[in-house]
Amino acid sequence: MAVNRKITVFLVFLFLCIGINAESKMQMPASGQIALIGRVSLNRSSDDFYAKTFRGGNAANPDFVAIKLAENSCEIPEEGIEGAKGGEFFYITLDKKDKIAVRIKGFEYRLFNIEEAYIILPFWKEFTVPLEGQFFYIGSLVYTVEGMLLDVTSVDSVDEYDAAQIAVNKAFNAEIPLRRVPLNDLAEY
């Protein structure tokens, strides 16, 4: 009986661990790391043609948007998260290492998260990482695409700082001091 009780206690402990992990929020950036917060949406007709035409496509899968960093930028750590579902806030942790700036080429937007069904969304902006703070809001971007090959025709930048603040607090389950950063143009290459 004593053995059974031990097993039961162990199992309860195991379930509790699983439960806690399932409920766990985004991991806070470590010292020497920063987090980028923003949102990228694609303004396009919402039918599932592309899910049907691409190999392995599934209309139930959400779009995915991944950040593309330029050279000499703070980098995504190994095993780090590179983006988020299309149209949702992303929280991207970057290693500062010996870099002083975040340089963003753009975003790779994957329709229905299909690897080969991606659109390059240009951004070409940079900012010098401030000495204070770890959480930086870079804006909310809405790209409009047109035509059969979904060419980018325009991009609108929307300031959603307040919504981003609420979202980041929820994601990290803490009061996060979120900062806006002034973005400068980055030379395209």
Partner 1 sequence: MKRIVSLLLALSLAATIPLALGAESKPTKRAGTPEDSVFIFGCVMDANMIRYTQLDPAFEPAYYQFNHSYYFFEDVEPGSYLKLTTFEHNGPAMFTTYYIGFSGRTALDIRVPTKPGLYYAGYVDFSEMKKKELIFLPVKKYTEVKLLKFLLPSVKNKSWVPVIESRIKELENGSK
Residue numbers at the binding site for partner 1 (CB under 8 A): 47, 49, 52-55, 108, 115-120, 148-150
Nearer to partner 1, 106 or 139 (CB): 106
Nearer to partner 1, 54 or 161 (CB): 54
Nearest to 148 by CA among 41, 40, 42, 49: 49
**Contact between residue 91 and residue 99 where contact means Cβ atoms under 8 Å apart:** no
3-class state of residue 35 by DSSP? strand
Shortest spacing between CB 47 and partner 1, in angstroms: 7
Shortest spacing between CB 69 and partner 1, in angstroms: 17
Shortest spacing between CB 86 and partner 1, in angstroms: 14
**Contact between residue 93 and residue 82 where contact means Cβ atoms under 8 Å apart:** no
Nearest to 63 by CA among 84, 46, 85, 43: 85
Six token digits for residue 43 = 């303004």
Nearer to partner 1, 8 or 53 (CB): 53
Shortest spacing between CB 75 and partner 1, in angstroms: 22
The identity of residue 19, as a single letter, is G
Nearer to partner 1, 116 or 156 (CB): 116
